[in-house]
Structure 1
Amino acid sequence: MNYSRLLKVSIFATGLSGIVAEYVLATMASYFLGDSVFQWTIILSLMLFSMGLGSRFSKKIGTKLIEYYIGLELILSLITSFSVLLIYTIMPYTASVDIIIYVLSCFVGFLIGMEIPLVTRINQEYEELKTNISGMMENDYYGSLVGGLFFAFIGIRFLGLTYTPFVVGGINLVVALIVFFGFKGIILEKKKLLISSSVVVALFVAGMSFSKPIVEYGNQSQFNEKVVFSKQTPYQQITITEWHGKHQLYLNQGKQLSTFDEWLYHEPLVHPVMSLTKGKVDVLVMGAGDGCAVRELLKYDRVSTITLVDLDSVMTSIAKNHPIFKKLNNDALLSKKVRVVNADAFHYLETTDQFYDVIIADFPDPRSLEINKLYTYEFYKLCSHRLRNKGAFVTQSTSPYYTTHTFRCIEKTLEKAGFNTLAMHNHVYSFGEWSWVIGSKHFSSDQLKEKVSSAEIDHIEDLKWMTHDALKLLTSFGKDLVDVDTSKLQVNTVHNPTGYKYYEKGDWSYEF
């Protein structure tokens, strides 16, 4: 048997499984802790550091290298397979999920760091040093590439975080068994390794069998309401809960709407900005994959087309097909006027050649760098380029009281991008005080306030909250809860993400 080739194949496989194991933990950290750039940076940095520690520790192993290598793969098989289940199991009993994820990352990294030194030392019996070192590193790197491709195109999309860890752990288990039987003739601890392998196989099968209910249990523990739907997509965790007959939508544990009062949000989002236009209009809606903003737009016969751009096809599919949302949005996304585009909004604006009379930006709060770019000067300039001269723009702009710096930063950034602005606010019971900012290249700020306050809304059917008096209140603000010197606020840009920084610092007393 070609022992050297067998060892290189094993390193290729462990390179694949190792990188995927860390991607799984980084994704878990992003979902539960937020700020994916920070979490991926920390997880991968801890992994690489721990790999160095593992590599250093491996020199303490002087004999029975093959036996230790097989044992190492068996341990990795268990740790990687059960990492997500462990997190979900412990989650209901601790608030320190971050510590658990970071410790697991360090442990996995430490074990991975021992692999190449051990296998290289085993292989020195069969190859000279220069071929041995380059061959091992080469196969490890190739395996990492395949692992990355697997995670991006198969694991996260089709297997999710429930079953991808078991695929990864299964690879480690297979490596252990192949090496065991390949080197069986020279292994001294056959009986111990065979028993250990049998135990790991049994645990592996049991874990696969009980993984789904454990994940469901852990997911339910994160919410006070009953979870009636949960789906992990390549971009986010989508959860729908039910409480007293009302439903709530969460993205990565951040509440997006409640059927109890969502119109208190969506009516101010849509109708004031629509009042600034006349005649037939083409509308671009970005975000708002739940379909509620589109529902409000379809109350206007003069709306010719609606282009809905949402990154996540699963979210728009839920809006189209899930009974709760079909009823909530009145089958809005099935209208012939509506075209759904599943794409990044920033990229869409960069590449489209379409112009619009109304542009609505309804994104989650800028709690991460990825979302923050949708509140930047560069993004608003793109919106300006795609907006017809007499058109109108509106964006949700977080809470004016609990995230005052971010709210004022969004307003200032829009002004920097060439818009005259009008801030609005309303009390949404599920969220507290909330805000939107309208932008116009045609009307002055005073004109915007006058037109919105006196908008004709009698012709709009099925308004649940908005009245003429309410329109006047939308644009009336008292003093900010937090004193903000807007002259010192920095404009939010891609390269200087101040909106994200202000939001991260926060002015709130609780998290939305």
Structure 2
Amino acid sequence: MPSTQSSSTSSNFPSPSVNRSKSRILKISLFATGLAGIVAEYVLSTLATYFLGDSVFQWTMIVSLMLFSMGLGSRLSSFFQKDLLQKFILVEFTLSILCGFSALLAYLASGYTLYTGLIIYGLCMSIGLLIGLEIPLVIRVNDTFESLRINVASVMEKDYFGSLLGGIFFAFVGLPYLGLTYTPFVLAFVNFTVAIVLLLMLWQYLSAFNRKLLGSIGGAVGAVLLSGLIFAKPIILFGEQQRYRDKVVFEQQSRYQKIVLTQWKNDYWLYINGNQQLSTVDEVLYHEPLVHPAMTLAPNPKQVLVLGGGDGCAVREILKYPSVEDITLVDLDPAMTDLGKENSVLLNLNDSALYHPKVSIYNQDAYTFLEQTSQYFDVVIIDLPDPKSVDLNRLYTEEFYRLAYRHLRERGVFITQAGSPYFATRAFRCIDKTVAAAGFQTARLHNQIVTMGEWGWILGVKSSTTVNVKSQLQQLTFNHVSTQWLNQEAMQMMTTFGKNIYGLPLDSVEVNQIHNPVLYQYYLKGNWDWY
């Protein structure tokens, strides 16, 4: 039965020889574009997380905005009355450019403007709008070949199946191996190939003018994509460099995070997702307080667990204790531990500590490791990034600390980095309260780190009897171990906080739990609530 849709599309196929093979090509095309569409969402969500932070919020907003924009695109498709397949080809050419250059535009924008988010969200809505045009256009074109019942089901099926493959590709190939430099261009060439295949299928039915027009557009898009692919790496490096004050000497987008190493004169800075982790200028001011109070307070430490710390500096300090027999280091990202073992800067900094026969490295989620291991430890040292997202927040919860408590021997010592007690006071107090809620007897530590500002740690002791942990720390001497800065006088200073300048009592914060993830919200707000 003739319809507006079928008559409008049939002009593209006047020949009666059109058959199921053309329908099959259309659906294969939609399978490919479904793959590209879902990966585009993931690329933009990863970019937003890297540049703007708070992964849960960014992924939620990017996916939601893209779905909303797809709805707008679907609505917009209803205004197209004829030459639908040609319009679909133009959509694919446009998507090729937007997807391919999404990361390059975000990196360039970050170097010259504070409004990188507007660029990313603008790309999100533009790409979503175009993706929303695809499915309705293909359904209407395919109406020529199949009944409505079969048409809609088969078209949607191919799009969703493509999305599954896209997710697998992004998780296991795109992000870990191609990174944000080349993954967008894979999407671009998927859309470009779809457009070219359909253009060739349609070629004999086009007028001379449309052949020339679409052929010229295709040639221009192909040339632009090839140029972008060739110059992608230097452009990304240029944009990355604009984000850092010093020269970028190493950068890698792993499956989990962006790792950057910068250099100024003879010193180096390590960044993860744009946040400084250490500097060769003063890393001992961080790692000595992280390691030595816990190691010295523990009686005869033999088995030590380090969660995080893939740079190897904490392990370097632990190896100074002759009593230590085994050091278990658990870091989620193999790219980070590989850097600690292979990069000349970190190798020199950590004294090749990760190669020591006492050290065992596990690239595993810290929470999962504690759930599954049957080992017991004398000291647990947590050297993880700040809890600025829900996924990191999980590693600062009461449940996580209870797992650590369970795997400590009696009189075992636990310590975690806890951010800044002065710039994120509520977050610091929350960690203190949460560690205590897990059963530890706690003490707070802090130190001024030149390149990072005031930093803090929470130390806990597992003991069946009441102990004054702060008093014990103040009495520690470090004559038995080689330190560059730490001594008894430093411990007196590190355990003293003075008056509470913000007037923030401990009961003003909640215990951080998996079902009540308050810590990352405290951290993101910092002390702005009280200024």
Q: TM-score interval w.r.t. the shorter chain?
A: over 0.9
Q: 2:387 aligns with which of 366, 371, 375?
A: 366
CA positional deviation for 1:390 = 1.6
The Cα offsets for residues 89-136 of structure 1, whole Å up to 9 and x where unpaired, read as 222211011111011000000000000100111111111100000010
Report the CA distance shift for 1:296/1:445 in structure 2 as closer, same or farther (over 3 A): farther
Aligned to 1:431: 452
Structure 2 SS opposite 1:393: strand
Alpha-carbon separation, structure 1, partners of 2:371 and 2:347: 31
Tell me how far apart the structure 1 counterparts of residues 328 and 500 of structure 2 sit (CA, whole Å).
Answer: 35
Residue 295, structure 1, aligned to residue 316, structure 2: yes
| Matching of residues 107-506 of structure 1 within 5 Å | 107-188=126-207, 189-442=210-463, 447-461=468-482, 463-506=483-526
> What CA deviation, in whole Å up to 9, does each residue of 1:289-343 have, x standing for no partner?
1111100000000011000000110111111111100110001100000001001
Deviation (angstroms), 1:488: 2.7
2:95 maps to: 76
- Is the contact made by 2:109 and 2:115 (CA closer than 8 Å) also made in structure 1? no
- TM (norm. structure 1) is 0.97
Q: Which residue of 23, 44, 55 corresponds with 1:36?
A: 55
CA contact (8 A) 2:294 2:459 kept: yes
Question: How far has the Cα of 1:445 moved from its partner?
Answer: 7.1
Q: CA offsets, 1:160-179, max 9 Å, x none? A: 11001111000000000101
**Deviation (angstroms), 1:183:** 2.1
CA distance in 2, matches of 1:150, 1:486: 47
Q: Deviations over 1:232-262 (max 9, x none)?
A: 1010000000112110000000001110000
Secondary structure at the counterpart of residue 250 of structure 1: strand
Superposition deviation, residue 185 in structure 1: 2.4
Deviation at 1:279, TM superposition (A): 2.3
Distance 1:454 1:429 in 2: 26
In 2, Cα distance between the equivalents of 1:393 and 1:241? 32
SS at match of 1:456: coil
Whether the 8 Å CA contact 2:301–2:379 is kept in 1: the answer is no
- 1:362 is displaced (CA, Å) by 0.9
Q: Which residue of 2 aligns with 1:16?
A: 35
User: Between the two proteins, what is the percent identity of the paired residues?
Assistant: 48
What is the CA–CA distance in structure 2 between the aligned matches of 1:372 and 1:480, rounded to whole Å? 25
Q: Distance in 2 between matches of 1:19 and 1:193?
A: 26
Partner Cα distance (1:88, 1:224) in 2: 15
Report the AA paired with residue 104 of structure 1.
Answer: L
8 Å CA contact retained: 2:65, 2:125: yes
Deviations 1:385-435 (A, max 9, x none): 111112110011111111110111100011111111011111111111111
Cα distance per residue 1:476-508 (max 9 Å; x no partner): 111233221212311000111111111111116
1:3 to 2:22 alignment: yes
> Larger deviation: 437-446 or 338-347?
437-446
Q: Contact 1:414–1:439 at 8 Å: present in 2 too?
A: yes
SS state at 1:493 partner? coil
Task: Give the TM-score, by structure 2 length.
Answer: 0.94
Matches of 1:37 and 1:363, distance apart in 2: 18
When structure 1 is superposed on structure 2, of 436-445 and 294-303 the one drifting more is 436-445
Question: Post-superposition, which runs of at least 4 consecutive aligned residues in structure 1 deviate over 6 A?
Answer: none
Whole-Å separation in 2 of the counterparts to 1:392 and 1:263: 20
Give 3-state SS (helix, strand or coil) of 1:308's partner.
strand
Distance change (3 Å), C-alpha of 1:345 and 1:48:
same
The alignment of Structure 1 onto Structure 2 pairs a total of residues equal to 508
Q: What residue is the counterpart of 1:55 in the other structure?
A: 74
Say if 1:354 and 1:386, in contact at 8 Å, map to a contact too: yes
* CA distance, structure 2, for counterparts of residue 175 and residue 150 of structure 1: 18
Q: Equivalents in 2 of 1:481, 1:307: separation in Å?
A: 39
Q: Distance in 1 between matches of 2:408 and 2:374?
A: 11
Gaps in structure 1 of 5+ consecutive residues: none
Quick check: 1:420–1:443 contact (8 Å CA) kept in 2? no
Deviation for aligned residue 1:447: 2.7
- Partners of 2:65 and 2:500 in 1: how far apart? 41
Which amino acid in the other structure matches residue 508 of structure 2?
A: K
Cα root mean square deviation, aligned: 1.2
Tell me if the contact between 1:420 and 1:444 (Cα under 8 Å) persists in the aligned partners.
no
Write the distance in 1 (CA, Å) between the matches of 2:336 and 2:514: 26
SS at match of 2:78: helix
Contact 1:422 1:445 in 2 (8 A): no
Distance 1:278 1:493 in 2: 31
Contact 1:378–1:493 (CA<8 Å) still a contact in 2?
Answer: yes
Contact 2:441 2:462 in 1 (8 A): yes
Distance change in 2, residues 1:443/1:468 (3 Å): farther
What secondary structure does 1:302 align onto? coil
What amino acid is aligned across from residue 154 of structure 1 in structure 2? V
Contact 2:418 2:456 in 1 (8 A): yes
